Every structure is written in structure tokens, then in C-alpha cells.
Amino acid sequence: MRVGEAAVIDPRGLDELIRLLGDLGYETKGPVVRDGAIMPGAVRGVEDLPAGYQDEQAPGHYRLRRGEGDSLFAWAVGPGSWKAEMFSPTEELWRALVHGDDVSITEPESPVAPLAIIGARPCELAAMAVLDRVLADSAVPDPHYVARREGAFVVAAECGHPAATCFCTSMGTGPGVESGFDLALSELNDAGGHRFVLRVGTERGADVLARLSVAAATVDDLAARNQMVSRAAGAVHRQLANEGLPALLARNQEHPRWDEVAERCLACGNCTLVCPTCFCSDVRDTSDLSGEVRRGRVWASCFDLDHSYLHGGSVRTSVSSRYRQWLTHKLSTWWDQFGTSGCIGCGRCIAWCPVGIDITEEAAAIRETDGAVHAATARGVGPR
Amino acid sequence: MSGGADGANGAAGDDGRPTLAVWKFASCDGCQLSLLDCEEELLMLAGAVRIAHFTEMSRASTPGPYDVSLVEGSITTEADAERVREVRAMSRRLVTIGACATAGGIQALRNFAGEGEYAGMVYAHPEYIAALETSTPISAHVEVDFELQGCPIDRHQLLEVLTATLAGRRPVIPGHSVCWQCKGRGTVCVLVAKGTACLGPVTRSGCGALCPAVGRGCFGCFGPAETANTASLAAQLRHQGMAPLELSRFFSTFNAAAPAFRDEAVAEGAPVRVALGATRRNRPWGAQ
Ligand code: SF4
Ligand code: SF4
Ligand code: SF4
Ligand code: SF4
Ligand code: SF4
């Protein structure tokens, strides 16, 4: 089977595929049920996948339930994203032993096994592409990210059950997927049986598939897959109006809405921490009493006062300025920096915000009252 | 203010090592014990500094001045208010440790009660008790160089503060919420996924997000985060079904008198008896 072609496999075939990837030396990870949510975890075979689970998502709300069926992918993304696998929340960069003038530096070993991701959603593939532009295709690529990302084998899973928080259709990132995968699954569970259309995206994917005995997908299978994707697209109701959005936000820096949302915003950082494209990190040097010095990297967020700490103090002291930084970076200045939107429409920041602040609602509110100005600014009191 | 950096010069011990003193005020000793809990690192610490006064460890005590003083406990008597001024005067750097020293501790619940109310409940002869009406943090009495929050404090954070102080660098003690560590370790949010009340978004990180990792909500033992929008979180918890009295109690534990928590407890109906210090930063959201 060649790139662009499609096979059809049943759950047993999927099980064989996962085990084959394991035998080929990949560390196989995929969606698992953990602590009441779909989370990335070790997947050794089909039995580890979340059969029959369905999610319910809304702003500030997520519930996972065991339903009737046996579908493996009848849910939308949970709080964990594949970002954490490639861009670790904490990473030791190097350590040094200092004894007088004698300094010896050691760097940690790179990870051993390459990763095979089973069932990455279309928006997550889009997120990886966005992160690639930031961390891999930049003037100074991040070696840790590049090492994990380049070796990774990606088996995508198209969406049949978007959540109420998803808005991938606005961002052009789902619920179907055409590129960015080695293999792509589309789960069908109808009168024709429980099966997966399996499309080949790369030579590497074709090589793996060649080791399994699979049948070519029929015209009916492909039609059922198309139907599933368009039905899913119709079920995505949340929207973000993208037209002229970067400029709209750029000219509304003094909009009163920033203060209004700051009344609710906890500055807790959850939105940035669940976002699959947020890439901010902090480099921290620590020393201990034995003379060992360590340099580490940890995820950071623009909701932290320290994020804007310059000599003498923090620049973004108000929560409104921090919320504005987040939203305008995602939807406006990311374009200036990287030529894409920083948001791929996964809705994680909406569901996992403890107080349910909704990025699409905030952007829409500013659009509705384009040009409104904070009262103090209008009176010439000056910047907040 | 008395003491301060100028109050004590040249405190280094006879052998050139800096001196460390550990002091106790109204507290349970748990934070001091975190220092003994350091085990391996304690030996290294004992090599790097001369432990000049630490009654949990040794009866031997060398007089000041001291390079670094760790102060545990809150101020609840006139005598302690005087003693902490003496400690300040003898210390080049003064670091307060724990909820008692940084916020007044659980004993600051008396700040909300009627005069002598708790003493009457606890002691057969409350008339023998000579205590102040309030329990207040050390920073209400003397200048403090660094406050390390937690009930009890995290020993790794304590070591970090001591190591940084000795190395003359800024301690790496983030001021952000527990959620950072919670998400960083891959815990599923109990507030969003289970509807469990959690104070993590307004509580300062440092514990490693222990409670959510075992499926419980954070109850705020590390005290308020740097930016703690307690009013908004309270509105959300109310929305999820928490009653005002319950909410008020949720905010009134080990850090009851920390301004961000105290103001929310009061907003939810906790009685106000003593004059409140700092004003609240955020107006209540959702309350009309
Ligand atoms: S901003 Fe929100 S919706 Fe957009 S990619 Fe990030 S988490 Fe997903
Ligand atoms: S939104 Fe904030 S945390 Fe995310 S990448 Fe931008 S500045 Fe960093
Ligand atoms: S928008 Fe929500 S998740 Fe993000 S910092 Fe504010 S309260 Fe936290
Ligand atoms: S469980 Fe609590 S601490 Fe963890 S992310 Fe949720 S609100 Fe924050
Ligand atoms: S999660 Fe909250 S209550 Fe639990 S140890 Fe940490 S700060 Fe304390």
C-alpha cells in the first residue's frame, strides 16, 4: 500500500499494528482513561484504549462516562496533550560540579526509544505543526524537542465526536485530517461492523503497514469515512471569527473587556498549561550545598508575575494585562512571529479554565464593540 | 523599625562559617522539623553553616549575632512581640517559615472570634492566660527578608532558600498557583473533571500539588498565591453548590488571616472583629 492509499482493519488489526510498532522499538503511547479523563499514557494494545468512553465538555467542565458502545475514539481531547511528550514540563539541561576552579559539566542522556503516538486527534497534529515552527524551524532549534519530534511515529485518529468546546472547523484543523501523520485512522462502527479506515501518509507509514496483511478499503468504507467527518464537522458549533482578527485585537489594546475578564480570571495559568501550542519556559539555575549547580527548564506562563519580570520588577502586574498578553499572543501576534495562528481550536483552555473563561467569547466580545476604550484611557489618565 | 541589616555585623562563627539560628514563636514545631527531615542534606548544611541556636536539635546555644535566622510561629503575646524584635536585632537575614510566621497560622482564627471566646472553650481558667487578642505574622512586627509559605513548609524549598541565601542569589521560589505544579505533573484537575472544591488556583505552589495528585482538592495550606483572585474562585465554588458558611470555612484554616483568604472568608460571612489591614484587590465577581 502506497502513500495516499487506504486500507481497512478491524480492532484486531489495530491491536496488531500497535504491537508491531512496539516490536519495531517504538514506545507506544496513546489515549488512556486516568483519573476521570482521557490522558496520554502507555498503550500496549487495543485493550488499553478507552473502549466505550464518552466525554461531556463545557466551559470549566469535563466529565468522562463509560457508555454503551465499544468505540475506541468516541471522545474529544482531554487536558493532556502530546506537547508534554516532546517538550517536557521539566527538563534538566545540564549540571556542573564546581570545586574551586575546577568545573565539570555533564548533560543528561537523550531519551532511548522513539515514540509512536496512537490516536492523535487532527487538532493535535495541527498543534505539533505550530510547535514545529516555534521549536524546530527557528534559528535556534530546541535539541530536546527536535530529538523527540523527529523520531516520533504518528498514527492519527479523525474525530467523530467533537465536544461542545471544540472549534477546529473555524481554525481549519479538524475534524478530518489530510497530512501530518504516518498513518491515519477513521473509526467506523455501523451496520458494516466495527472497523477503521487506515490511510497512509508517509513512506514510513507504508513500510510499517507492509508488514501487516490488510485489505484495501472499499468505496463504501471511504464513503462512510467521508460521512463521519462531515457529520462531525456539522456537530462543531463553537466558532471563532477569524476575519481580520489579528488586526482587530492589535487595535483594541485599551478595550474595557480586558478589565472585565480580569475580574473573573484567576491568573492560575491553566489555559496556557493545557494549550498544546504554548511554548513558554523558564530557565532556572539552582545550586546545592555540595557545590553542584543545575540548569533546568520548566514550563512557564504569561499568567505568572515572573513571566514579565525585567530588571527591577514585573511589567504585566495587572491580571488584565496578563490575560490580554495570552489572548493577543494566541490570536494576533503569533501571526507576526510565526506566520500562523497560535490557536488550533482544541478548546482545552475553555474546558480546563476553572472559571470557564472562553477565548472565543472574549474575542467575539471585542469584535462586537470594536474600538471601545477603557474609561480611564479615554479621559487621558494614561496607560494602566 | 529596629534591627535590619545594619543591626548585626560580622556574625560569622569562629571558624568562618556563617551562623544559623532557628527560633520558635506560637507554632507547632512542624516547620522547624522540616529542617531535621532534610536528613542527608542536613549533614551538608551542618558543614556549610554553624548551627548556633536550634533547640529542636541541641540544648547548646551560642549567643548572637547570627547570619541567618529562621523564624517559625506567630506573635500572640506581648512578650513574644518584644522577643522577635530582639531576634531581628541579632540577625543579618531573617527568614520566616510556615503559615504561622507568614500569616498568623490556625491560631489567627481568634482574630475572627469574640474576645476570649476560644480561650474560654479551651482553658478551665482563661483568666490565667495573658495573650494578645490577635495572632499576627512576624512581618507585622519586624522587617522580614524572605517569607516561605506552607503548613508545613516544603523542605526542598527551605533548602533552596538557605542555599540561595548562603550563595547570595535570589531563591527560586515561584509565586504562582498550585495549578502550575498540578498540570506539570500531569494530574487531572479535580475541580473541572470531578467538581471537587479546590483552592489550588489561589494557593501558592510549593507542595508539588500533593492533594489533587491523590484526588482531593487543595485546601490552601500554602496560603495565597502572588495574585489570588479569591472572589472569582469563590463565585465558581458557589456556582458548584458550596454554601456561604462552607465557603467561609474553606478559606479559614491555616492561613485564615492572610489578607486574600481572610477577605474572602469575611465576604462569605465570617465575623469581623479586629480591624482589617490591607484592602482587597479584587471586587467580588458574580455577586450583584
Ligand atoms: S488557545 Fe485554547 S483552543 Fe486554542 S489551541 Fe490553545 S488550548 Fe486549544
Ligand atoms: S500565550 Fe503566554 S504562555 Fe502561551 S506562548 Fe504566548 S506568552 Fe507564552
Ligand atoms: S483564563 Fe482561566 S485558566 Fe486562564 S489564567 Fe484565567 S482563570 Fe486561569
Ligand atoms: S486540581 Fe486544583 S490545583 Fe490542580 S489544576 Fe485543578 S484547580 Fe488547579
Ligand atoms: S495541595 Fe494545597 S492543601 Fe494540599 S499540600 Fe498542597 S498547598 Fe497544601
Sketch the domain layout of chain B as residue ranges.
Answer: 19-167, 178-267
Set of cell numbers at residue A146: 527536535
Q: ∠A141-A144-A147 over CA atoms, to 5°?
A: 90
CA distance A271 to B214: 22
pTM: 0.93
Q: What is the pLDDT of residue A376?
A: 63
| Residue A9 contacts residue A1 (beta carbons within 8 Å) | no
Whether residues B177 and A90 touch (CB distance < 8 A) is answered with no
Nearest chain B residue (CA) to A267: B227
Judged by a CB distance cut-off of 8 A, whether residue A78 touches chain B is: yes
Q: What is the pLDDT of residue B9?
A: 43
Among protein residues, the one with the nearest Cα to ligand 1's atom 6 is: A275
Whether residues A319 and B48 touch (CB distance < 8 A) is answered with no
Distances (CA, A) of A221 to A70, A156, A196, B281: 19, 18, 9, 60
Please state the atom number of ligand 1 nearest to the C-alpha of residue A330. Answer: 1
Please state the atom number of ligand 4 nearest to the C-alpha of residue A268. Answer: 8
Range B19-167: architecture per CATH: 3-Layer(aba) Sandwich (3.40)
Q: What is the pLDDT of residue B8?
A: 41
Provide the β-strand partners of residue B203.
Answer: B224
Interface size A-B, in CB pairs within 8 Å, comes to 132
Distance (angstroms) between ligand 2 centre and the Cα of A346 equals 16
Whether residues A36 and B159 touch (CB distance < 8 A) is answered with no
Q: What is the pLDDT of residue A382?
A: 43
Q: What is the pLDDT of residue A377?
A: 62
Residue B139 CB: number of other CB atoms within 10 A? 14
Q: DSSP readout, A23-55?
A: HTT-EEEEEEEETTEEEEEE-SSGGGS-TTEEE
Q: What is the pLDDT of residue A176?
A: 97
The whole-angstrom distance between B242's CA and the closest CA on chain A is 15
* Rounded average pLDDT per 10-residue block, chain A, 384 residues: 96 98 98 98 98 98 94 98 95 90 87 91 98 94 92 97 98 97 97 96 97 96 97 98 97 97 98 98 88 92 94 93 98 97 98 98 97 70 45
CA distance A352 to A62: 8
The whole-angstrom distance between B159's CA and the closest CA on chain A is 8
Q: DSSP readout, A108-153?
A: PPPPSSPEEEEEE-HHHHHHHHHHIIIIISSSS--HHHHHHHHH-E
Alpha helices by DSSP H, A165-215: 168-171, 203-210
* Rounded average pLDDT per 10-residue block, chain B, 288 residues: 38 78 96 89 90 89 92 97 97 96 94 82 87 93 96 95 89 95 97 98 97 97 96 96 92 95 89 50 29
Distance (angstroms) between ligand 5 centre and the Cα of A105 equals 36
Chosen for mutation from A98, A266, A353 (greatest number of chain B CBs closer than 10 Å) is: A266
Pairing of strands A90-99, A292-299: antiparallel
Whether residues B201 and A268 touch (CB distance < 8 A) is answered with yes
Chosen for mutation from A38, A81, A268, A358 (greatest number of chain B CBs closer than 10 Å) is: A268
Distance (angstroms) between ligand 4 centre and the Cα of B41 equals 31
Q: What is the pLDDT of residue A320?
A: 97
Nearest chain A residue (CA) to B205: A268
Judged by a CB distance cut-off of 8 A, whether residue A58 touches chain B is: no
The whole-angstrom distance between B274's CA and the closest CA on chain A is 27
